[in-house]
Amino acid sequence: MLRLGPLVVTGRLLPVGPAGGRVSLSRSRSWLSRPTGPVGDRGLFYRQVRAAAGSAGGGSRCLALKTPKGTRDHPPAHVALRDRLLAAVVACFKRHGAAAIDTPVLELRETLTGKYGEGARLIYELQDQGGELLALRYDLTVPFARYLAMNKITNMKRYHVAKVYRRDNPATTRGRYREFYQCDFDIAGQFDPMIPDAECLKIVHEILSDLQLGDFLIKVNDRRILNGVFAVCNIPESKFITTCSTVDKLDKMPWEEVRREMVGEKGLSPEAADRIGEYVQLHGGLDLIERLLQDPKLSQNKLAKEGLGDMKLLFEYLTLFGIAGKISFDLSLARGLDYYTGVIFEAVLLQQENDHVEEPVSVGSVAGGGRYDGLVGMFDPKGRKVPCVGVSIGIERIFSILEQRVKAEMLYKKDPKLLKQLQYCEDMGIPFAAIVGEQELTDGVVKLRDVAMRQEVDIPREKLVDEIRRRLEP
Amino acid sequence: MLRLGPLVVTGRLLPVGPAGGRVSLSRSRSWLSRPTGPVGDRGLFYRQVRAAAGSAGGGSRCLALKTPKGTRDHPPAHVALRDRLLAAVVACFKRHGAAAIDTPVLELRETLTGKYGEGARLIYELQDQGGELLALRYDLTVPFARYLAMNKITNMKRYHVAKVYRRDNPATTRGRYREFYQCDFDIAGQFDPMIPDAECLKIVHEILSDLQLGDFLIKVNDRRILNGVFAVCNIPESKFITTCSTVDKLDKMPWEEVRREMVGEKGLSPEAADRIGEYVQLHGGLDLIERLLQDPKLSQNKLAKEGLGDMKLLFEYLTLFGIAGKISFDLSLARGLDYYTGVIFEAVLLQQENDHVEEPVSVGSVAGGGRYDGLVGMFDPKGRKVPCVGVSIGIERIFSILEQRVKAEMLYKKDPKLLKQLQYCEDMGIPFAAIVGEQELTDGVVKLRDVAMRQEVDIPREKLVDEIRRRLEP
């Protein structure tokens, strides 16, 4: 009798080597010579998950042997997966007529100064080694605006895929790093209202659909509407931007906490905060836009009226594009960056309820963007404005999700009891166990066990990966 | 009668836009309506070189409106050309079985410290903003060694294409920037002598041949031979590395100057310098290796003997690969970096004599590399060594050359006399003028004039670009 160490498949990408992105489950060469005694009711084999050269792991025995906080190396399998992701994103950008540019990772500090609001404290600065004062780029939008102004370009559709740097508090399990890729698509130039803005949303919709990340929602708002709301709630104009950044936390905090920050930290009156609360908790579609256009206070505010009119027009285009179903006009969306002037948006994945997955991947937004009509003018010596709208795809967060999709592990015991292993699966919320014994080997199948349901079914070996993927799909 | 402004084609890439890397010579829409009077013996048209959105130029009216010193933006045409170059290089790396990894642009300062010798002063350091002390990577080799040690990998063939940073004195016309791409291919692991080393040289040969950059030469030497030379010339061992970096300047300075630096700055005795001079000015092939193996002094030095023995073996492999004809054993080659321990090499393009090209592109070496058997051990807590050899392709310098290949300009005069334009061509060393008049339009041809020979020939329009490229080939 041989003993079987069941293969436990959960959804984590193994750090495999050059083969690239594949969960590679091969039998140890020595398995035939290692029968391990009479336990259990079927023959069992040791199995080995091949960790090819290039696999991560290791760790830092020596203090210095690490990458900087919030950064990571990418072994070949990561690079292969990331390249496939980037290729899909770039293909979409090109389909929409954009051309690639590249700008330096380094910018003059003064190029970045005064563009990001509260984010500015997260900018990496370079040591003054004589010469210019430099910093690492914080995003690709400000360098693009600098590029447009410097080259006097008033009309351009460009994409840029590159790394940006933020001294943020890293949350690497959620795909938040200090060095990360951004994939930006932007349209610069004067066009009929809302058409470029609608194209940006179409692009987000296409990419998130293409990548099959499950259900998603694109929240849309407009800085002019927010400003209008603040104005009719009697917030002094000097507090608009800082109030924006508090409102933006509504997706992570309950209203009560946001209200507390408004009153406590930002110094709004409780009454003003309550009035804001009535607006910023609203979300909906065309109906909500129509309602707000009739709102006795908002309809009297010029900016809000403009924003709502454009929002209505935007929804008409989105309906024509057939994507309005995934778009939500959401007054709580504010976006953190100072430079937005009009439409803003953010795409979030809708998490499936799944109690069996031990660490649900909460990645927050996977795309965001908006209109920034004033940024180029900040760089132009004569202040000439170039209206711009753009979107940034958070490829790193998407990567974290895909990384969790097919991960596998096994118990590192030389004599693993089957029941013990299945118990481990149940404890850890591992959804499937793949079991291979003598009978399965003879039949060329793998027994796939649904751990929660305690149901087993034989799957032909060559169909195993597809079957697991199918079952793991949201 | 119409007047013709001849199109002058020389070999400089126009800064065209999204169309990408193409010299785009289109007629102005208004040309039909702009006959300009009776001059010359054929009809002439104004012509316009279309500078699409995204073209460089601009300049910095405002002081802040620039990229940091030694860096540059890449408009769409550049990115397109660069991507084609990178694709060719990566295809070769993959053909040779390498897998891609990626590492952060940022490294701990201590990771970079003590690896580069004199180059260390060119490392960009980040400001201490609380937390770890960081720096920008100086090359891709040290991060690779850190990666191997950290992940306990003892065997890997990897490539890495990414930007590196050096606070060097930029010489942008020669393709020397402070931010530039490196394309690295490295083999880590214990193998039979000289086989991985030979593969690296084969890769350089393949890539430089594929890219059709004209004739090239790969210089090869070995740090052990150099050390043996220094030893038999009675240089103290403590001065080996610093003497290396002086010897390395022999490709840019005459021997007299190098000797002066050795004696003056490095403190060698004049006699020792002279003895070194007798060796380091030698170059050749197998014959030279055989001669040095018989050299009464060198043959008594263990390191030199090892190095010469391996060099002989290397040349045997290179002969089997059919590439020995492009390889020169050159004792003046030293390479600047500290970490090399064995074979070192560097590829240079052989400039064609061409009096007609006004600004010859002198790009120096376009590839380099060598064996660094001790670097991984510097990171391993127990000092375990992983022998490595690798090559870095200087894509930025190659880009500069290709950039100069097809450049075109025209005289910005509204009423350009043909003779004056041809005179301009002769003055500027522009090799070809493309002339389009009424007759040529009717015939669907372009008159291509060899400026120096004063010969003209009609070329069908659709074959013009190919014909110019053919004539410009070295």
Q: From chain B, pick out residues whose CB is under 8 angstroms from the CB of A56.
A: 151
Res. A330: pLDDT tops 90: yes
- Nearest alpha-carbon partner for A425 in A412, A404, A411: A411
Ranges assigned E (strand) in A170-319: 179-188, 216-222, 283-284
Bin A54: left if φ > 0, else alpha if -120 < ψ < 50, else beta. left
Candidate from B66, B136, B149 with C-beta closest to A150: B66
Res. A362: pLDDT tops 90: no
φ, ψ at A136 (rounded to 5°): -85, 140
Q: Average pLDDT in the B431-450 region?
A: 91
Tell me whether strands B99-100 and B156-165 are parallel, antiparallel or unpaired.
Answer: parallel
- Nearest alpha-carbon partner for B400 in B364, B432, B426: B364
Q: Average pLDDT in the A394-420 region?
A: 79
Q: Average pLDDT in the A133-142 region?
A: 97
Q: Average pLDDT in the A304-327 region?
A: 97
User: What is residue A200's predicted lDDT score, i.e. its pLDDT?
Assistant: 97
Q: Average pLDDT in the A283-309 region?
A: 96
Amino acid at B120: A
φ, ψ at B365 (rounded to 5°): -75, 145
Exposure letters A166-203 (e unless 16+ CB within 10 A, then b): bbeebeeebbbbbbbbbbbbbbbbeeebbebbbbbbbb
Q: Find, in chain B, the residue whose alpha carbon is nearest to that of A382.
A: B62
Residue scoring higher pLDDT (B449 or B51) = B449
Q: Give the confidence band of A342 by pLDDT, cuts at 50, 70, 90.
A: very high
User: What is residue A365's predicted lDDT score, i.e. its pLDDT?
Assistant: 86
A346 to chain B, minimum CA–CA distance in Å?
A: 27
C-alpha atoms less than 13 angstroms from C-alpha of A312 in its C-beta half-sphere: 13
Q: Give the confidence band of B34 by pLDDT, cuts at 50, 70, 90.
A: very low
Q: Which residues contact A115 (CB under 8 A, 6 or more apart)?
A: A142, A337, A338, A339, A375, A378
Test mutation, B62, B151, B152, chain A, max A CBs within 10 A: B151
User: Bridge partners of A365?
Assistant: A348
User: What is residue B29's predicted lDDT score, i.e. its pLDDT?
Assistant: 30
Distance CA B256, CA B430 (A): 37
- Nearest alpha-carbon partner for B97 in B187, B167, B26: B187
Please tell me which of A336-345, A359-368, B281-290, B411-420 the model is most confident about, judged by mean pLDDT: B281-290
Test mutation, B16, B55, B65, B136, chain A, max A CBs within 10 A: B65
> What's the pTM?
0.77
pLDDT tens, position by position, B178-212: 999 999 999 999 999 999 999 999 999 999 999 98
Res. B57: pLDDT tops 70: no
Ranges assigned E (strand) in B62-149: 99-100, 106-108, 134-136
Distance CA B411, CA B424 (A): 9
For A122-149, the DSSP string reads: G--BB---SS--EEE-S-SHHHHHHHHH
- Local structure of residue A215 (DSSP, 8 states): -
Distance CA A235, CA A228 (A): 10
Provide the token pair at A139: 């995003």
Contacting B residues, span 191-250, partner chain A, CB-CB under 8 Å: none
Query: Which strand (E) or helix (H) includes residue A10?
Result: strand A7-13
pLDDT tens, position by position, B273-306: 999 999 999 999 999 999 999 999 999 999 999 9
- Nearest alpha-carbon partner for A17 in A80, A62, A100: A80
Q: From chain B, pick out residues whose CB is under 8 angstroms from the CB of A168.
A: none
Q: Find the farthest-apart pair of alpha carbons in chain B and give their distance in angstroms, rounded.
A: 86
For A245-276, the DSSP string reads: HHHGGGGTS-HHHHHHHHHHTS---HHHHHHH
User: What is residue A352's predicted lDDT score, i.e. its pLDDT?
Assistant: 57
Test mutation, A123, A153, A388, chain B, max B CBs within 10 A: A153
Contacting A residues, span 409-468, partner chain B, CB-CB under 8 Å: none
User: What is residue A160's predicted lDDT score, i.e. its pLDDT?
Assistant: 98
Distance CA B18, CA B53 (A): 7
Distance CA A31, CA A33 (A): 5
pLDDT tens, position by position, A429-469: 788 899 988 899 999 999 999 988 899 999 999 899 889 88
Residue scoring higher pLDDT (B473 or A147) = A147
- Cβ distance B129 to A132 less than 8 Å, yes or no, reads no
The C-alpha angle A271, A273, A274, rounded to 5 degrees, equals 65
Q: Give the confidence band of A21 by pLDDT, cuts at 50, 70, 90.
A: very low
CA-only gyration radius of chain B, Å: 26
- Cβ distance B105 to A105 less than 8 Å, yes or no, reads yes
pLDDT tens, position by position, B329-371: 999 999 878 899 999 999 999 865 444 444 444 557 899 999 9
A252 to chain B, minimum CA–CA distance in Å?
A: 27
Tell me whether strands A343-349 and A216-222 are parallel, antiparallel or unpaired.
Answer: antiparallel
Contact with chain A for residue B181, Cβ under 8 A: no
Q: What is the ipTM of this complex?
A: 0.75
pLDDT tens, position by position, A238-285: 888 888 889 988 888 899 999 999 999 999 999 999 999 999 999 999
Distance CA B474, CA B349 (A): 11
Candidate from A101, A127, A134 with C-beta closest to B76: A101
Note whether A158 and A98 are within 8 A (CB): yes
A74 to chain B, minimum CA–CA distance in Å?
A: 5
Contact with chain B for residue A350, Cβ under 8 A: no
pLDDT tens, position by position, A190-216: 999 999 999 999 999 999 999 988 889
Res. A296: pLDDT tops 80: yes
- Cβ distance A152 to B101 less than 8 Å, yes or no, reads no
Tell me whether strands A179-188 and B134-136 are parallel, antiparallel or unpaired.
Answer: unpaired
Q: Residue B15's CB: how many other CB atoms inside 10 A?
A: 18
Res. B15: pLDDT tops 80: no
Share of chain A above pLDDT 90, in %: 58
Candidate from A55, A152, A157 with C-beta closest to B58: A152
- Cβ distance A151 to B74 less than 8 Å, yes or no, reads no
User: What is residue B22's predicted lDDT score, i.e. its pLDDT?
Assistant: 28
Q: Range with the lowest mean pLDDT among A8-17, A157-166, B248-257?
A: A8-17
For B377-430, the DSSP string reads: HHHSTT-----EEEEEE-HHHHHHHHHHHS-EE----SS--HHHHHHHHHHHT-
